[in-house]
Structure 1
Amino acid sequence: MIKYIKNSETAIIVLHEIYGRNDFIKDVCAEYFEEGFDVYCPNLLATHKTFSYEETEEAYSYFINGSGFDVYSDILCLIQKLKEHYKKVIVLGFSIGATVAWRCCESAYCDGIIACYGSRIRDYLNLKPKCQMFLMFAEQDSFDVNSICEQLLQKPNLEIMRINAQHGFLDKYSKYYNPEKTKVFKEQREIWLNHYK
């Protein structure tokens, strides 16, 4: 597990994409640590290897056939453990990590969740969030984003942001990176996170 600790009252659990704990995820961890949070980044894969962006299909297959979305039960245990030492515990996930984060939303121990382009959230629409959630979807994704958002808006404790960009636009190492849209997202995320500082 990657850890950045400075004895903050709030811990953030960062959940990576199918590629593993790559440079983008390491940058995210460092960024939140600099913002004053203690950061924990578990490995959702059954390997310490990271996949390149050209290995998308192999990476997705490896995740699904290895850990799969049931890895959320491990994250629930981590949330509960961290809650013994922190006033607040937030989960931040990207893509498959966002779907794993969404599956944790009924935990009584989780204080907040930020889920960025979790396209498989649509497979778990039966969940009812008990904590505050900030969901961000890229409108240019592989499914009908607007339809899923309309269904999600019927649920409690949700703030949803839709951005006209490609899935992965927050990642400066990705060909889909969009600095202007990233700035828009970070401004809204900052407003949401102020409740936890």
Structure 2
Amino acid sequence: MRATVLIATDVFGNTPAIASLCRQLNASCLVVSPFEADFQAETEQQAYQAFLASGGVATYAKKIHALIEEQTQLRHVIGFSVGASAWWMSSAARSAHLQTASLFYGSRIRNYLDLPSHCPTHFVFAEHEAAFQVGDVVKRLQEHGHQAEIALGCRHGFMNPYSSGFSLKNQTRYLEILTAKVQTKIQPEEKLCVAQKLVA
């Protein structure tokens, strides 16, 4: 069965936690990582340095976009951190075949708030981010008609057990939301109505 869910990982890449996420979603998943081969980092800093060495967010964005263009059966995108930013930067306005996108704490999204999206996009930001004011970003996204929210009490990385910001409570909550989302069938006419609303 061809994958219907694309998971764009954070700087830790394709870890056992991502494999666990795929099992919990109970859907066929295609995982894209910033790295060409299996990669394991002992610390978050080591993972980030390896990410920069691999070409950073611009290279990752091109990789994700190529997969989206090639794998036209994909219906859902789930992105974490740099994966969320990279998809938003490169593919949000071009992915007409997608039904939903769920983007978690994509820090670089703050520099691309005016981009259109061809599918309903749900942004979830951690309340505590050192580099920017989360509330301002969420407000701007909401003004553009997107579903955007703040995960209260959370730090960047709250969905990833390998991150210092991990929150089991919030990971459990959002996994339930994601599972319901990827299991829901959206009819073509419903998607058309959403697309027309976004364009209007």
Fold-level similarity (TM above 0.5) = yes
Give the CA deviation at 1:18: 0.8
CA offsets 1:13-59 (integer angstroms, 9 cap, x no match) = 11111122122222222322xx2x2111123124532222x2x3343
Is 1:98 aligned with 2:84?
A: yes
SS of structure 2 residue aligned to 1:153: helix
Aligned to 1:61: 49
- Structure 1 unaligned segments of length 5 or more: list them: 1-6
Which residue number in structure 2 is paired with residue 77 of structure 1? 66
**Deviation at 1:75?**
1.7
Give the corresponding residue for 2:194: none
1:62 Cα offset (Å): 2.8
Q: TM-score, normalised by structure 2?
A: 0.78
Deviations 1:97-156 (A, max 9, x none): 111122221112333211111112112223111111111111012221001111111224
For the Cα contact (< 8 Å) 2:76–2:182, is it kept in 1? no
Give 3-state SS (helix, strand or coil) of 1:20's partner. Answer: coil
Q: Contact 2:124/2:148 (CA < 8 Å) preserved in 1? A: yes
In 2, Cα distance between equivalents of 1:14 and 1:192: 14
Corresponding residue for 1:119?
A: 107
The answer to whether the 8 A contact 2:65-2:87 is kept is: no
Q: Structure 1 residues 68, 140: CA separation in 2 closer, same or farther (over 3 Å shift)?
A: same
1:158-190 superposed Cα distances (whole Å, 9 cap, x missing partner):
211211111112223444332222233234434
- What is the rounded CA distance, in whole Å, between the counterparts of 2:167 and 2:24 in structure 1? 18
More strand by share: 1
Alpha carbons 1:115, 1:135 under 8 Å: kept:
yes
Identify if the C-alpha distance between structure 1 residues 57 and 175 changes in structure 2 by more than 3 Å, giving closer, same or farther.
Answer: closer
Q: Counterpart of 2:124 in 1: which secondary structure?
A: strand
User: Is the contact between residue 8 and residue 64 of structure 2 (CA under 8 Å) also seen in structure 1?
Assistant: no
1:161 alignment counterpart: 149
Letter in 1 for 2:54: G
Instruction: Report the AA paired with residue 105 of structure 1.
Output: A
SS at match of 2:114: coil
Q: Kindly tell me: are residues 193 and 159 of structure 1, through their superposed partners in 2, closer, same or farther at Cα, counting changes over 3 Å?
A: farther
TM-score when scaled to structure 1?
0.79
C-alpha contact (below 8 Å) 2:141/2:147 kept by paired residues:
no
Determine what percentage of the aligned residue pairs are the same residue. 22
| Residues 114 and 144 in structure 2, CA contact (< 8 A), matched pair in contact too | no
Cα gap change, 1:43 to 1:178, in 2 (>3 Å): closer
Q: Which moved more, 1:104-113 or 1:167-176?
A: 167-176
1:22 maps to 2:15: yes
How far does residue 63 in structure 1 lie from its aligned partner after superposition?
A: 1.8
